[in-house]
Amino acid sequence: MNIRNLKQFLFDLNIAGYASGEEKKWIKEKDHSTTIPFTKGKFRSNDNFFGGEPYGGRAIVFYEEKPVWIMVYFGAVNKGEKPDPVYVILREALRRMPRDYPFRGPKEYRSGDFRYTNIWKGDLEKYEGEEKIYKGQKEIYSAKYIGGMVDKRGGV
């Protein structure tokens, strides 16, 4: 598996997944979670999450049906804030994911009174980050994420 191809898949996955807003293609699971499946070439992924507010989940990428990469995430819109406008901004930001650092959205995105920020460290091997959305100067949303390459050598 080529890292450049994985980055491209993650970029395509992001655009076709949650950022697309095409909820009719999402699968409502018996355990009350939601799965967003995506396949392209030899890559396949399942983004599975619980929520509402707050929300949490994980996205796993498979290459030739073997797990190769994971992201685990948890976030929420602050109490007292309406979630729908926040998630509109989040989807707009996610559609602007940097190609070299496919960890959620760009470092910063602005739309009207809203500002999205994303701070991360690491690379595809091992990374972590936090994204926030502000309305004016007030933080109204935050989420943390962590992940990296998996199943590179034997284990449990």
Residues 6+ apart with CB under 8 A from 73: 49, 56, 57, 58, 59, 143, 144, 145, 146
Residues 6+ apart with CB under 8 A from 92: 109, 111, 116
pLDDT value at position 25?
77
pLDDT value at position 17?
74
Q: Which helix (H) or strand (E) holds 14?
A: helix 3-16
The alpha carbon of residue 69 and the mean position of all alpha carbons in its chain are separated, in whole angstroms, by: 13
Structure tokens at 77: 């819109």
pLDDT value at position 72?
98
Q: What one-letter code names the amino acid at 98?
A: P
Structure tokens at 13: 């996955």
Q: What one-letter code names the amino acid at 56?
A: G
Domain definitions of the chain by residue range: 3-149
pLDDT value at position 1?
76
pLDDT value at position 59?
95
Query: What is the greatest pairwise CA distance in the chain?
Result: 49
| 143 within 8 A of 131, measured Cβ to Cβ | yes
Sign of the Cα torsion 133, 137, 139, 145 reads positive
pLDDT value at position 155?
64
pLDDT tens per residue across all 156 residues of the chain: 789 999 999 989 888 877 666 666 789 999 999 999 999 999 999 999 998 899 999 999 999 999 999 999 999 999 999 999 999 999 999 999 998 888 899 999 999 999 999 999 999 999 999 999 999 999 999 999 999 999 877 666
pLDDT value at position 71?
96
